Amino acid sequence: MKLQVDHLTATPKEYRHSLSAAQWRSLSGADQDEELEAQEDFAFQLRAHVASDDILIEGKIDGTVGAECSRCLERYRCALHDDFRLVLEPAHDRRPQDPEGEESLSKHGLWLGEDLESGWYRGRVIDLDAYLAEVIALAMPVQPVCREDCEGLCPHCGARRSEQRCECEENLKPKSPFAALAALQGDSEGSS
């Protein structure tokens, strides 16, 4: 998405943009066989305006990825919904310290700070696609869960606890909380 700086005013302007799964993989370097796989285009709603010389961009992302549950390892569709905000100052004569930042500023008209909520711009056109790919990456779940009450896998037999009950838990439980102490007491009495 290319943002024309000259077209921005103090009144927020609405934009809609989509980023395809292929574009996202290309921009982010994500592999198709990773645990999180884009299943449809990512939709963005943005509002942009100027305040003094700064450019303010606010928006939200909606999308769906195929994910693997971190508890039961089942694949499921995970909805992404997140808000974001970016404040860009004019770069003027400032230059980023890193070579990648300098390249981004000259190629895309945009350099992002470490927090991804602020940065610099230079020129009349800002290409936001690389930034939007970062927004997608930040919206991805760190530990995807198919549902909040997912019971996961049995650590002993590997059964999915949400689908079937196994006997492992019952067989491994002591009959009484004091069973271990009773066993120790029996050992100590036998050795006296």
Residues making up the chain, counted from first to last: 192
Average pLDDT of every residue of the chain = 85
Residue boundaries of the structural domains of the chain: 2-139, 153-192
Q: Is the pLDDT of residue 182 over 80?
A: no
Q: Is the pLDDT of residue 86 over 80?
A: yes
User: What mean pLDDT comes out for the span 168-185?
Assistant: 68
Name the pTM for this structure: 0.75
For the chain, how long is the longest CA-to-CA vector? 93
User: Burial, 142: exposed, middle or buried (Cβ in 10 Å; 0-12, 13-18, 19+)?
Assistant: exposed
Q: Is the pLDDT of residue 54 over 90?
A: yes
Kindly provide the b/e burial profile for residues 3-12, where b requires at least 16 CB atoms within 10 angstroms of the residue's own CB. bebeebeeee
User: What mean pLDDT comes out for the span 106-118?
Assistant: 88
Q: Is the pLDDT of residue 166 over 60?
A: yes
